[in-house]
Amino acid sequence: MKTNGETKLPYFLVGLGLGAVGGLLSAFLARKESRDLLRERSTRSLAYLNQQGNKLRETAEEIVGKGKAMLSQGCCSSQATTGNGTQARDEAKLDN
């Protein structure tokens, strides 16, 4: 049997010290793994964003090219149509 005079303070301090050392080591190792994991993920994310940006750029260039082609064709035909329409109206006014 233990007497009341025996104290458990040394056991508490040893346990506290071991827990603190274990906690610090695990935190240090976890931080290194976390940094490596974050670095890997950021590298993959950056590569993905670059790939998507290139696709978007190519698509935008195609759309702009098609738009320019449509405007150049539409511009010439609309001028011809407008010119023919005004010429027809002018002739109709002269006839009246």
Give the percent of the chain with pLDDT over 90.
35
pLDDT at 28: 79
Q: Say which residue, 1 or 60, is predicted with more confidence.
A: 60
Residue 35, domain member (yes or no)? yes
79, pLDDT greater than 70: no
DSSP assignment of 35-91: HHHHHHHHHHHHHHHHHHHHHHHHHHHHHHHHHHHHHHHHHHHHHHHHHHHHHHHHH
- Domain-located, residue 83: yes
Q: Which two tokens stand for residue 27?
A: 């935190």
Residue 95: domain span = 31-96
Total domains in the fold of the chain: 1
**More confident of the two residues 30 and 21:** 21
How large is the average pLDDT for residues 81-88? Answer: 59
What pLDDT is attached to residue 5? 61
